Structure 1
Amino acid sequence: MGTYRVAQICPNGHVATTAADVYPEFREAFCSQCGEETITQCPNCSAPIRGDYHVEDVLYLGSDYKPPAFCYNCGKAFPWTERKIASAVELVNVQAALSSEELQQFRSDLAELTKNSSKLQVALFRFKHVMSKVGTTIASDVRDIMIDVFSEAVKKAIWG
């Protein structure tokens, strides 16, 4: 049986270390990529952010660690997930000039697309509709923002 190490991540999703609890020498008080203060706990419930999964006596050669979008303990979105959703909404609003109701719906749909929930198909339909209104450049920029927090199923459904 294994245990999760503690990850240290900045609010923009840059990973300082995936094992802050056992390798303190790799900790960064501030992100070396953007200068933001890093965290090791959920800002909502203080549960440790899960890093690498460690199994005793197993050698790991690298990691494909991706910061979790949501806290395993309380279910709240981590700051990097919230920031990416907010950035995508702002970018789309600049181009599409959506009404406040449409903007709120788009924000809600983006959140659903990060969860792979039962509302996925409806959220996908609306997301694709909004993307068709903004043009390829903005749609590409939204993709770049959201690629790390969308589930694999969503990425496949949207971009193949």
Structure 2
Amino acid sequence: MKSNQHLADRFREVLLNGTFIANTNYKDQLENLPLKIAQTKVGDLNTIAILAQHIHYYIKGVANVFKGGPLEIRDAYSFDFPAFASEAEWQSFLKTFFNDAEEFATLVSQIPENTLNDVFIDKKYGTFQRNIEGMIEHCYYHLGQLVLIKKMILNT
């Protein structure tokens, strides 16, 4: 299997359809989650909704680069999202989130093999491959948080 396809499949695992690493994925955890639970605050932790939006923010920002655009995302704004006003708004976000995740995976699978080791925007950001692997790791990191927060809410 080519590296680009392998990376795309690993990304799909954490976001859309896998159980190999964490025995779950974002879609499994969020698809039928009511907004009330997604926006429930537990201590000073981020809400599930904020974590989902945070990951989506990075998916959209990096995908923009893959499509030839600039890197416009900034860490300082990556947790800065308003609350959802309704269940319909939350469900619309989830649909967009999962569609954008699939688009990201497709874009990764289309990156030429010889481009994976090219500099991503600026040398300080490393290579395309490093950024894709970093995205996957970042997703798993916050998936773990999301799962724990969800358990804390549902077991209270």
Give the TM-score range, shorter chain: under 0.3
TM-score normalised by the chain length of structure 2 = 0.27
Instruction: Say which structure is richer in helix.
Output: 2
Larger radius of gyration: 1
TM-score normalised by the chain length of structure 1 = 0.27
Instruction: Say which structure is richer in strand.
Output: 1
Q: Which has the higher contact order (CA 8 A, sep 6+)?
A: 2
